[in-house]
Amino acid sequence: MGPPLVSILLPARDAEATLDEAVASVLAQTLGELELLAVDDGSRDATFELLRAWSAKDPRVRVLSTPGLGICGALNLGLSECRGRYVARMDADDRSLPERVERSVEALEADASLAGVGTQVEIFREDQPPSPNMRLYEEWLNSLLTAELLERERFIESPLCHPSATLRRDALVRAGGWRHGDFPEDYELWLRLVDGGGRLRAISPVLFRWRDGEERLTRTDLRYRPEAMVALKARYLSTAPQVRGRPVAIWGASGIGLRLARALRGLGVRVERLVDISPRKIGQRIDGWRVIAPEQLGPPGAEHLIASVGSKGARAEIRAFLQARGHREGPDFTCAA
């Protein structure tokens, strides 16, 4: 019997409460040519025993154990053991719907230019409804159904649900797998893949149920703090062709915009001025930058504008303003909040 078509990579630590449901959802996939490679990363509960029980019942389940390498170490160890042409991620507290892997593979086999796909997701909680902000994030993620749209939106937030993703193994290996650092490992991987010419997108319909909760890493891990996200965006923005070597203006003279301007300046980007709509700021200098009104911007191509305002509805308003004046998203401006 040859190697499986898909290796599903599931790292787990202290996941006994939700693990069985997650594993069962993987083994119920409509695509049968798969293996589940589960990495117990130093659990102190019954996670390892549960995984061993699954492997005894189903030969598709393979179990690795570590003393606690952390998420990137566990993922890279698992990747080194994956035998499939495709590597599908899975977390121990989520649920894959039955056609998730089959439809993801179909999308990848239909378009050789894709390095990977995620799926549309449903964010759920069992204790209360997800927050309005999480619902907005869900809506935004589920809208990124083309590689062009995902590339355009990639500096706004992490543009794929990591545990819903299925990737070409060779593309993932060439990119160097997952990197550990002061940043979210999933978002960094998406930026690195796109930066290297890889194409990513989500597929429809909803094929993944993504658990939210108070213990979620985005709420508990310092690598997901706003400063780390800004620094990561700045690193990849600073090398983007539309930014590198060009004068840059940042729309947003406080909050995330100002943090991004400072980070880009620290990376050698020619940030020359800030843009804001607040009458209190227009005409002032902040950190040495003059603040101008949007109407004072030059013609398209005079500088690259990075729109970085986090308030609700601001991105749509900025886009409409710039596009009405002939600015093209991508060549002339980038949204980064």
Task: Give pTM, 2 decimals.
Answer: 0.95
Residue 326 has a pLDDT of: 97
Q: Exposed e or buried b for every residue in 162-183, given b needs 16+ CB within 10 A?
A: bbbbbbbbebbeebebbeeeeb
pLDDT at 242 over 90: yes
Other beta carbons within 10 Å of 27: 16
- Summarize pLDDT for 212-226 with one digit per residue, the tens: 977 666 667 788 798
Residue 223 has a pLDDT of: 80
Range from 65-74, 125-134, 173-182 carrying the lowest mean pLDDT:
125-134
Residue 217 has a pLDDT of: 67
CB of 38 closer than 8 Å to CB of 10: yes
What CATH number is given for 6-224 in this structure? Answer: 3.90.550.10
pLDDT at 43 over 70: yes
Q: Chain-wide mean pLDDT for the chain?
A: 96
Calpha distance 44→23 (Å, rounded): 19
Task: Fold for 226-335, please state it.
Answer: Rossmann fold (3.40.50)
Residue 1 has a pLDDT of: 64
Calpha distance 189→176 (Å, rounded): 9
Any idea which residue has 């299925």 for tokens? 166
- Summarize pLDDT for 247-303 with one digit per residue, the tens: 999 999 999 999 999 999 999 999 999 999 999 999 999 999 999 999 999 999 999
- Summarize pLDDT for 51-105 with one digit per residue, the tens: 999 999 999 999 999 999 999 999 999 999 999 999 999 999 999 999 999 999 9
Range from 124-138, 185-199, 206-220, 284-298 carrying the lowest mean pLDDT:
206-220
- pLDDT (mean) for 133-146: 96
Domain boundaries, the chain: 6-224, 226-335
Side-chain-side CA neighbours of residue 142 (13 Å): 17
- pLDDT (mean) for 108-130: 96
